Amino acid sequence: MGLSVQALSFRYPGRGEAALDGVSLEIPDGCVFGLLGPNGAGKTTLISLVSGLLRGAQGRIEARGQTGLVPQDHAFYPMLTCRENLHFFGAVQGLAGAELERRVAAVAAFGRIEGVLARRAGQLSGGLKRRLNLAIGLLSEPEILLLDEPTVGVDPQSRAFLLESIRALARPGRTIVYTSHYMEEVQAICDRVAILDAGRVLASGALSELLHGGQRNLEELFMQLTSRSLRE
């Protein structure tokens, strides 16, 4: 098992309702796991707890290996060049010398950003920013990679590239948890899926198992489970 979450509950201080309410998930090693849910379902809270960003949850999280987070925001320094960003985030994770150089070169090649390493990150296009964001998340070579809506705001070409790259990252020893609002993306690259709403797991399992009830696709299943009412 790559990642196991057992009866996880979490409430933000000062808020009445629980953000997560008894969530249990078993995510096999080497799979791409899609985490779906409307706004406020608890997806970001869940991956924040798994990555250690949030503390104070009830329940149990067992991760086999190091976690790496690729946040939804462009979480890097716009005034620094891409190379300076990669060096900085590598160094604060304890990398140095030849090993740091090797990893910077490897993630830059993976994200196909070698040609813009000398450019300031703030001047990049939306697609390049997403690729830099992903590259930074890969510097530590994590066994569990948490991707929070990594394709928001990119053109179709960059999206296709990102999806292929993410799919290529999955291998034995590396598990990928992928949150998105784009059902077709999840259907295209994920082996297993969980649908969350109001902090609870509504459905979880392999795509083929979930789509056995006559639904034509994941979006239909999603709308059926979460209802069509608008969310905050």
Smallest distance, another protein to C-beta of residue 188, A: 26
Restricting to residues 69-98, name those near another protein by CB under 8 A. 69, 71-80, 84, 87-89, 91-94, 96
Smallest distance, another protein to C-beta of residue 184, A: 26
Alpha helices in the chain (DSSP H): 43-51, 82-91, 97-110, 126-138, 156-169, 183-189, 207-210, 218-226
Per CB under 8 A, 214 contacts another protein: no
Q: Is 3 exposed, middle or buried (0-12, 13-18, 19+ CB in 10 A)?
A: buried
Q: Which two tokens stand for residue 85?
A: 């960003």
Nearer to another protein, 106 or 202 (CB): 106
Nearer to another protein, 148 or 185 (CB): 148
Per CB under 8 A, 136 contacts another protein: yes
Angstrom distance (rounded) from CA 111 to CA 128: 8
Angstrom distance (rounded) from CA 229 to CA 218: 18
Nearer to another protein, 72 or 215 (CB): 72
Nearer to another protein, 93 or 224 (CB): 93
Restricting to residues 39-58, name those near another protein by CB under 8 A. 48, 51-56
Smallest distance, another protein to C-beta of residue 149, A: 12
- For residue 23, report the phi and psi dihedrals to the nearest 5 degrees: -80, 130
Nearer to another protein, 68 or 111 (CB): 68
One-letter amino acid identity for 59? Answer: G
Smallest distance, another protein to C-beta of residue 203, A: 28
Smallest distance, another protein to C-beta of residue 114, A: 21
Nearest C-alpha neighbor of 232 from the set 37, 10, 38: 38
CB 8 within 8 A of CB 60: yes
Interface residues with another protein (CB under 8 A) are 12-13, 48, 51-56, 67-69, 71-80, 84, 87-89, 91-94, 96, 136, 140
